[in-house]
Amino acid sequence: MIHKLTPTYLAKKNALFLAVLLLFSVTINAQNKKPISLDDIYAKGTFQMAGVSGFTSLNDSRYYCNLDNDANILRYEFATGNLVDTILKHTDLVINDGILAFDNFEFSADENKILFTSNTQSLYRHSTQANIFVYDVKKKKLTQPFTFKVMNATFSPDGNKLAYVKDNNLFYYDLFLNKEETITTDGKFNSIINGATDWVYEEEFAIWKGFAWSPNSDKIAFYRFDESKVKEFEMTMYGKLYPTQTKFKYPKAGEANSTISILVYDLRSELNAEMEIGKEADIYIPRIQFTKDNNVLAIQRLNRLQNKLEILLANTSTGKSSVIYTEENKYYVEITDNLTFLNDNKTFIITSERNGYNHLYQYDLKGKLVKQITNGNFDVDAFYGIDEKTKTIFYSSPEFIEGKVSKNLSAERFVYSIGLNGKNKKNLTPKHGWSSPTFNSSLSYFLNTWSNINTPPVYTINTASGNQLRILENNKKLSTKLADFEIAKAQFMPIKNANGDDLNAFIIKPENFDPNKKYPVIMYAYNGPGHQLAVDRWMGSNYYFYQVLANKGYIIFCADARGTGFKGETFKKCTYLNLGKYEIEDQIFLAGELGKLSYVDSKRIGFWGWSFGGYMASLAISKGADVFKSAIAVAPVTNWRFYDNIYTERYMRTPQENGKNYDDNSPLSHVEKIKGNYLIIHGTADDNVHFQNAVEMVDAMIKKNIAFDSEYYPNKNHGISGGKTRLHLYTKMLNFWLEKL
C-alpha cells in the first residue's frame, strides 16, 4: 500500500517528530553562567580557537613538522610523537639586520630549501602577491632573490628553480645562477594573463596558479588568458577627496569569456609549444596536470554549458592531443581535483556522478572502464590518494548503512580506506561528527581534525589503519572557558519537505526553554547547489552569535533544502534551470511547519542568510511574505543576470536561453509582495556579488513604495570584515531582530 505524502500528513509527522524532540531538549539554566556578548565574539577574541600551525608531512613519511609559538619549525616523529630536532629557529631568518616575519612557508621537494612568503597582499578571493625569501637548510642561510612582489611562487621538483608570475607574465628564477629567466612578455593588465587565471576561473574553478612544473623540472605548462573581449566591472573605492575606480574583467551570465590557450615552455630550447585543445574557442579548461610521463600533459576540457567533460592527453613537444575520457550529463558535470594518474602509467582514478551518486572509478588511458571502486547510496566527498604498494585508497564520505533509514547520515563525514578492487572498506574515524584528514606522503599517517556541531576541533595523529596515536590539540582551554557561559546546545532533528524528502536540520533553543511559552524563530540557510550548512561540524563564530540570539529568547533553525549536497545527484540537481524556486518553496513550507508547533509564535518567524543565503532571505520576505515577518539579506544576489557566467550558467544556462526563469526566480520580480521587515546589507567593494545587486533591489522597492532597512559598508568585499566591521555588522543584525521580530 502506498501512502500519499500530502502536506497535511507530513505536517502531522513533522509535528510529532518535533514534539518528541522537545521532551529531551528542556534544560535547566545553570547558575553563575554569563551570557555571551557580541564584544566577546567580534572584539575581545574571548573564544579564540587553537589549531596546529604549519603542519607539514615530510618526505620520508616518518616525520612531520609544525610551528611553535615562537615560529620555530620543529620536526616530530609520527610513530612516537617525539621531538626529533629543530629544522629552523626563527632567529636564523636574518635579513637586512632584522628577523623575517613570514606569512607562510613551503619546503622544496628534497627539503633542502624552504620558501617563505612575507608582506602578503590579497588580490581577489584567493589570489595573493607577496615578497619571497629562500632559506638553505644545510647552509642555514636566508636570501631574497628579488625585492618585488610576485604571485604563485613555486619550487621546481628538483628544488633548483622558482616559477612565478609578475605583471601578468610568467618567469622562473635559477637559484644556482641567481638569474631570472623570462618565459612570456605579452602580459598586460585586463588583457593578457600568463601563468595565473582570470577572476572567474579563480572564483568558480578554484584555480589561481595557472602553471605546472613537469616531473623532471625541464618544462612548465601554463595558461594564457586573452580577456580583452571580456567586459569590465567598475567599483568605486572611497576614502579620498576624489574616490578612485577599480576596474577588472568580470564575465556576467551570457557574456563573453576569456579565450584560453595552453602552452608548454621547454627550459632547454627556450621555446613555447601550444597544446591542441580543439577548434571551439568558447570552452573552459578547468584543470591541467602532468601525467607520470614527463612529456604528457593531461588537459580537462569543458563545454560552455558545462555538461560535457573531456580529458585530453597532449604531447608537450608537438602539442598533439587526443581525447581519452568523455563524460556527459543532462544537468552539469562537477569539477574536482580528484583526477589521479597511477604509477603504472596505464590507468587513472576519477570521481563521477554517472550512476546518480559521486563515486570513484578506475579507467585506463584509452578511456576504458576498469572498475567502479566505491558504490552505494552515498556521495564520495574527497579523495586523498592511493597507496599503490598496498593498493589501498583513502577518501571521505558520509556514513552509509545498507538497508538502514537515517535522517542525518549525510550531515557527517568519516575517513575511509578501501582496496583498489573495491573490497575491504573500513571506517578509519568512526566517531560521529565531522573528520577531515591531512595525510602524509606515503599515506601511512594522517592528521585528523574532528569536531561536531557543539564541540570545537580536536586534532589527532592517526595511523592509516585508523588507530589514534595522540592528541595534538583538543581545545580544552576553549572548552573550559565555554563552560562559564550560557550555552544552548544545537540538536539535529528529522524533518521532511512537502515532497517527503528527508532534510538535514538542526535547532537551537534557549537554554532555559519552557515548552509552555511561545518563542520567535530565526531561520538560517545558504542552500546553494551542492552546499551543506546543517552539518555536524563546528560552525565557528556563528555558533556564538546564535547563543546571543538564544539568550535573547529566540529559537534558531537551519535546514538544508532541495538543491543542497550529499543526498545524491537527483536531490542536488533538481533545481537545474530554476535556481531558487524549489529551495525557497521548501523553506517556506518548513516555516509553516514550525509555526504549527505549540511553543512557536507563528507570527514571529524570521529568515537570514549571506550570499546565496541572502538571495534566499530576499525570496523569503517576498515570496514567503505570509509566513515570514522579517528577513536579513547580507550580500545577496538579486538577479542571476548580475552574477558571473561560470557559476550561473552551470545551473541556469544563459539568460538568452532561460531568461524567463532568471526573472521569475529573482527577488526583483516579487518586491510588491513584501509586507514584513526587510534589511539588506552589502559591501560596496564586493568583487564577487556586486553592490549592484543591492542597488537594484533597493531601486525596485522604492519604485513600488516598499519600506525597507539597509546598511552598506564602504570599501568592504564579500566577507564584510576588518577592524570593527564584524562587530558593527552583527550589532546591526541583533538590533534588527530585537526591534523587528
The count of other CB atoms within 10 Å of the CB of residue 27 is 14
How confident is the model at residue 672, as a pLDDT? 98
Alpha helix ranges (H) inside 404-514: 476-482
Q: Provide the residue ranges of all domains of the chain, joining segments of one domain with +.
A: 7-48+479-740
3-state secondary structure 621-636: HHCCCCCCCEEEEECC
Contact 226, 282 (CB under 8 A): no
Q: Please, how many CA atoms are within 13 Å of residue 159, restricted to the half-sphere of its CB?
A: 14
List beta partners, residue 709.
679
Q: Which parts of the chain sit beneath pLDDT 70?
A: 1-31, 402-408
Alpha helix ranges (H) inside 452-552: 476-482, 541-551
How confident is the model at residue 14, as a pLDDT? 52
Rg (CA), the chain: 27
Cα–Cα dist 415/421, whole Å: 18
Q: For residue 264, which of 310, 216, 318 has the smallest C-alpha distance?
A: 318
How confident is the model at residue 399, as a pLDDT? 85
- What is the three-class DSSP state of 40? helix
The residues, any chain, with a CB within 8 Å of residue 475's CB and separated by 6 or more, are 49, 50, 456, 457, 458
| Number of separate helices (H) and strands (E) present in the chain | 12, 46
How confident is the model at residue 169, as a pLDDT? 98
How confident is the model at residue 32, as a pLDDT? 82
- What is the three-class DSSP state of 8? helix
Which phi and psi angles does 605 have, rounded to 5°?
A: -115, 125
Q: For residue 207, which of 215, 198, 216 has the smallest C-alpha distance?
A: 198
How confident is the model at residue 96, as a pLDDT? 87
Cα–Cα dist 563/580, whole Å: 9
Domain 7-48+479-740 has CATH 3.40.50.2020: no
DSSP state of 199: H
Cα–Cα dist 392/383, whole Å: 12
**104-107 and 113-122 strand pairing:** antiparallel
Q: For residue 387, which of 427, 340, 350, 428 has the smallest C-alpha distance?
A: 340
